Structure 1
Amino acid sequence: AGYAYYYNTRTHASQWEAPGTDDNGREAFFSAVTAGDVNAATRLLLRHGRQLLDISDHNGRTAVWYALGHMSMAQLLFESGANLNRTDVDANGLVHVATRQRNVAFLALLAVYGADLDLVDGAQQTPLHIAAASGYQRCVDVLLRHGATPDVLDSAARSPLQLSTLGNHVACVQLLQKVSAQQAPVADIALLTQVASMNRRCIVLAFFAFFNNAAKARVQDDNPSKVLDAVYDGDLVTLQSLLVHGASPDPRNDDDQTPLHVASAYGRLECVSLLCEYMADMEARDAHGHTPLFLASRRGHLSIVKFLLESAADVRTANDDGRTLVHAAALSGSLPCLHLVLEYGGDPFAADRDGETPYEMLLERGDESAAPLLDYLDSQCSLRQPPTSPRPTSPT
């Protein structure tokens, strides 16, 4: 009669033994997370409880590891209490994997939900070591913006700055130097001391960075409005020339807006990208507490919203009226923009200072064209539990 032969739908492999039953919901839960099926994952969590979040596979990885490609799923698991600092059998944490994959958005979400950005792997390296050694500038930027420690030494007594210098990753070196300079006035001298034992090429690079930064710090910007004018005009050539020659990327206009505010509001993606390359402040607030991301969301500039979110701009910010990015995207009338903001962790439950959620705000306006937005907000609210994480923060 022969032997029975089975196909395991979870592992996608054939086997002689019958696949085991899934009484605790583990296999179904892992499958739902892998597929990004938020509805199924929510139902399973309600049925089996948060114990599903602690079950690991043979590599020591819990379900949250399989959410790396699904931001909405990741947010569900984070808010349900998933352990963000657990390591696998190779001593890698989620922060290490996200950094190696250059998954900037997921890395930023981990930071927002309180993951340990100084977690070390088997080589005693933090995510900042990994990003600096590989030249992942945006990962370095995200980690530093969220408070990663820049002077941790790995098992070979190397700092992220040393690894970045050895790899000739100039942009990363400058980011790390900037943070070091804020922490200690002699950071540039410390860099030269650190690289004294390195090869000649590295020392030349360090001296170049030192004197280049010193020269730029002494540039007198006699007319800061030139940068703003270039952005207003969409003059990318002039803007780049000004920035290359040391002009500040963050002068203010009469509304206390920076060039990044203006570029985001006007939908000038190339200007936004260039300003961010020169370290413009993505979290700067204007006279009304608006960040550049808020203005882009309010105007429905999808490409700019996507760029800023991928660059780890704060998705949970609120303006002086307590309105969040979800409020702003809803008011823009752009369903794709609203979808993107929620996908990156925007809170559909957050109320403004009048006590109105984005759904209630749109409903009160009575605009028939808002029907698709209302339907989408309603569906998102029904899928999620009210957040246990901190509410969006207005400027102090």
Structure 2
Amino acid sequence: MDDSHEIFDQLIQHCQIGDLESFISELNIKESILKIQDATGKTVLHYCAEQADIRFAKEIVGRNPELVNNKDIDGFTALHLGVIAGNSDFVQLVLGCDADLESQDNELHTAVHWAIVCGDLEILKSLIKHGALVSIPDIHGAHPLHYAAQVSNNRSSLELLRYLIKNKADVNAIDNDGRSPVLWAASSGCKEALLEIYNAGATITSSDKDGLTALHCAASRGFTDCVEALIGLCGVFVDPPDNQETTPLFYAVSLGHSECTEALLRFGADPNYRDLKGRTPGHFASFRGRLECLRLLHFYGADLWAPSERGDTPFLEAVSGGKYDVIEWLLDGRPEGIRSSNSEGRSCLHIAALYNNLDIARLLLERDADINAVMRGSEISIFLTPLDVALKKGHIALAKFFQEYGGVPATKVTDSRAVAR
């Protein structure tokens, strides 16, 4: 059996313990071992990338400088691994051996990408000084500046972003989803990075393939300082609609970010804005049970009983979501709303029956919900009471509960008040 792999392992061991003499002796016996790659595709030089003592790497590149551009199975060259390890001396060594600065790993990351992700300004400067390009996209279409915008949440990281901008990084580069560095910064809550990129000439109103702007991104994650900076310092419009006609306020209330909700409303966001289905922020907040956000919407003039295109109100959305406290709060403000229904006649009790929610059904009946309200079924000639819905869905316990309150099938309802809406 060839002893090459045994010698390969010995070379790595010599490197790890600092035994340069034995390392050189092995190479003198069989220098061709340097071209051997292990099961992960790494050469001995790859393993030297993490070693602070670069005498071993010098010995290797002195004998075979072409090895600096060999890739392992992940597409990493020795330069990639040196950057990831933060081994500045090693990086300087391979840069002096004509390392391919644009070499990309399997996810198309260059050494510059890795310098940014690892937060190493010294190495970034070395790479750029040797001619590394700063605007190469990876497999996601993301440039180094995208990553710098994402990680620049402290002074040292911010220097990386500034250095890229200084070296002509494209501040309006877009990734595969149409997201610019501005959107990455807003999504990560990096206000300083956001302002740096904006001041460098970035289009602050850019949107991604879904129509999401930086303001949407910041609002959806609850980054109030970014929201306030975008509107107050960058002058962005407070209600930019995405592809579904939902504004940043929809995202803030849906995810329960009350501080962002208040900030957007304070800056003039429309609490009654409607999406493509005619829903308002109140619909979203109710379904998700965001009571604090609902109170804010109410304070700023939202109509919390506005019907959507289907006639569903925020109250009916709260019932769909099973949000007990929201239901109570809405009914405290408008008790008569308990008898409301959508354009198909679907009432709150129909919804409770659909989702087999006995607790909600009990609350609604205590608030005087119509036990025998009638709605139109999937076929125009079919009508259903809450009992019918419960039986149709196989919710037997709930059906029995409705019967105890006087619930009957639609065929026995003679009152035409709720029929044929």
Larger radius of gyration: 2
TM-score scaled by length of structure 2: 0.41
TM-score scaled by length of structure 1: 0.43
